[in-house]
Amino acid sequence: MLRLTAGRVAGLLSRRGVAAFSSSGVKMASHEHGGVTEQTDMSVPLYWDRLDTPLPDRPYKDTLSAADKSLKQKEKGPWNSLSKEEKLALYRIMFNETYAEMKKPTGEWKTVLGGIFFFIGFTGLVVLWQRYYVYPPHPHTLDDEWQAMQVKRMLDMRVNPVEGFSAKWDYEKGKWK
């Protein structure tokens, strides 16, 4: 009985899941919120401030105010008659940022370095936790007294007496050569 019920529940959920992700389900979900979203036409040239592209495809301001339109008409005349503020306003119609503003440091390196140090610290805590709670204790053969006994035993057995370990021990004086 339970297997039959679980099968029916799975079938019902799968049918609802397919209906929710079908194209008609997506359309209904998008129209539920009351408005149609406006999508940007990516085939139209876009404005982008970049150091490697000095002249963007289109000006920064598409729609000009009345003051901007009169300034654009004034631009067609001699530039000696334009003031410094008017030249700057004309520049700001075409471009959002100057090269100096684009090259200005952002301070993003601080965030990157902080993130790197955070993850290094977190990794250190994970390694420390593993050292105490995951890994077994060090074997007794790594203790200093055990290693001293091992060296004494190897010398007593005269291990590799020609060129190896025992060859570097002076047996008459009882110390290393």
Kindly list the domain boundaries of the chain, sorted by start residue. Answer: 107-135, 138-176
Total-model pTM: 0.45
pLDDT tens for the chain, 177 residues: list them: 455 555 565 555 555 544 444 444 444 445 555 566 777 777 888 888 888 888 888 899 988 999 999 999 999 999 899 999 999 999 999 999 988 999 999 999 999 999 999 999 999 999 999 999 999 988 999 999 999 999 999 999 999 888 888 889 988 898 888
- The tokens of 130 are what? 């593993």
Asked if residues 57 and 82 have their Cβ atoms less than 8 Å apart, the reply is: no
| Alpha-helix residue ranges (DSSP H) falling in 22-107 | 23-32, 66-75, 84-94, 99-103
Asked if residues 49 and 97 have their Cβ atoms less than 8 Å apart, the reply is: yes
107-111: long-range contacts (C-beta < 8 A, 24 or more apart)?
Answer: none
* 157/151 Cα distance (integer angstroms): 10
